[in-house]
Chains A and B, each alone.
Chain A
Amino acid sequence: MTGQKEISEKKYPPDVNYRTVLKGLARLDPFFHLLMAILLITGLMIDLLGPWLGGWLWSIRTIAHGYLGALFILVFIVYIVQVIYSKKMRTVLTATNYVDFLFYIILIITGMTTASANKPWIDVIPGLFHALSPIAEFTPAIHTAVTYVWIVFSTVFPGGILHGIASVYLISHLKKKSKMERS
């Protein structure tokens, strides 16, 4: 039934700026973006800056990338279940989004074996260790390679990183425009 969503009053015509967008983001999706951003940044740090990180490397791998990656799995499951049961599945998502989901699943599976830090899952489900051991040899390479493929893919096609880039550009454009209109 429509009309059930209660939004607090806001002004029309609206302003769009980082504050309004972050507020909207926090209302709908506080974990997915945050974790994804942390995983992307820390993943790239480990891969590209690993030798220079010294003692930091261990904590970035274990805590920032490892444990948060394990948490991301839960967030992702909740997110996917919500998507499947929403009208948006039919109406707003495109092929790019579905391919993105596939990338996430590959990253999740390969991630579980890549970082020993992802132990929380292995600890909870000991059977996973055996189930994943045959592929454990290749997964670090796959995990890294898929990340770069994902970055390229989602920068080129609308839906993934491109939506982030367009968002940042749009917000700064609208801010400039409203400043001009006011003066």
Chain B
Amino acid sequence: MKAEKFLGNFGRSESLWMYACARCGECVDVCPVYEETADEYTAPGFKIKKMRGLVGRKLGLPFSGGISEQGIKKIVKGLYECTLCGRCWSVCPYNYDLVSLWETARESAFETGFGLDSHVEMINAVKAENNIFNRPHARRKDWTKGLDVPVKEKADTVYFVGCLMSYRGQLKPAAKAMATIMNAAGENWTTLENEVCCGVPLKFSGGTKDLEELMEINISAIESIGARKIVFSCPGCLRMFRQEYSKALGKKVRMVHGIELIDSYIQSGRIKLKDKLAERMTYHDPCELSRLAGVIEEPRRIFNSVTSGFVELPGNKFNVVCCGGGGLYKAVDLDKSLGIAGKRIGQAEEINAAGLMTACPSCYMTLSQTARSKKSNVKVNDFAEVVAQQIE
């Protein structure tokens, strides 16, 4: 029975964790999805409790409960109803890597046939066209039209654009803005001739079978360019590269988010900005960039040089409250995902922000969609567009 195999990929650390977890419930109190759904199967500590029963049974421990396919389906549903925002990890007194736990459990769910249909479709799209939208691979570079975007054989820096920035009409201007800024700074940069999806959506879905093959395409392209730095617009791609690609690319290749690069340009005077705007602007920290990659001060330095009206949102920086769009959650429950985003837009309204900036294509899509449907006055912007408009 496939149910017997579920969580079979748990190693010693995950299995021990099932018993070490102190049941303090800190994670339950902060999970944005649990707050939105009020379904205990989405509460992180509850998922651990349920998985412990299964692990206990595998280990032959007494009173561990049975394994029914129905029960597993409920656990798996809860595992996918999660934005992988890492808020649970941040409050866990043990500091145990819960994000990796959720990813490992999803991997097992997928492998044992409990994956979601929408994710299978997405993986098939990546296999066929190297992007999550099933759009022609040949059109990946359409965003560059009308711009001076280099494709060089050798360069210091590679700009890894990512699927969302490459294909989503609303986001293409943000990719263009990144290119404009790098050109203005005189960066010796290139895009990859044949960029393919970084693979992070596969990791999030649990369907990692084809991941290495996909990564290999990007790795060999980057190696042949001899780049020492890779720049990302998507914090998901960035984390994927730092965690997975760096094993192959080595420590010599620096991996930075565009916001870090632009901050360094401003600090070193490589780009000069016009006089500050007076617009009241705020910033939503992407979970993957602030909490999971530690990029927190750079955006603030940038925004304070762009506008004199920069204000902070509540629940920000390391303690940021997720926008609701991470971890492929939108594909699982769009209403709830946008419900979470609605709270974030509401917070921006409360502080009377005219602009809400972000540095993640997924946050951008979720927040802007919500702002539109709420007919909010808050305008969601990508940071790079705002900076590009301010270059002297």
Residues of A within 8 A of B (CB): 1-16, 20-21, 23-25, 27-29, 86-94, 97, 156-159, 162-163, 165-167, 169-170, 173-174, 177
Contacts and interface: CB of A to CB of B under 8 A. Distances in A.
Given A12-B86, A91-B40, A156-B62, A7 B16 contact: no
A162 B18 CA distance: 11
Contact of B19 (A2, A5, A14, A162): A162
B35 interface: yes
A91 B45 contact: yes
A173 B46 contact: no
B22 A90 contact: no
Given A10-B90, A88-B24, A158 B19 contact: yes
B15 to A, nearest CB: 9
A121 to B, nearest CB: 28
Nearest to A168: B20
Nearest to B35: A2
Nearest to B292: A12
Interface in B71-124: 86-87, 89-97, 99-100
B214 interface: no
A11 B30 CA distance: 19
19 contacts: A2-B30, A2-B315, A3-B32, A4-B315, A7-B319, A8-B318, A10-B95, A12-B97, A20-B95, A21-B94, A24-B94, A29-B93, A87-B25, A91-B43, A91-B45, A163-B20, A166-B19, A167-B94, A173-B13
Given A7-B91, A170-B17, A12 B315 contact: no
Interface in B13-66: 13, 16-26, 28-32, 35, 40, 43, 45-46, 48-49, 52, 56, 62-63
Question: What does DSSP make chain B's interface, helix, strand, loop or mixed?
Answer: helix
Contacts of B94: 16, 20-21, 24, 167
B319 A88 contact: no
A170 B20 contact: yes
B243 interface: yes
A7 B318 contact: yes
A29 B24 contact: yes
Contacts of A92: 21, 23-25, 28, 43, 45-46, 48-49
Interface in B319-334: 319-321
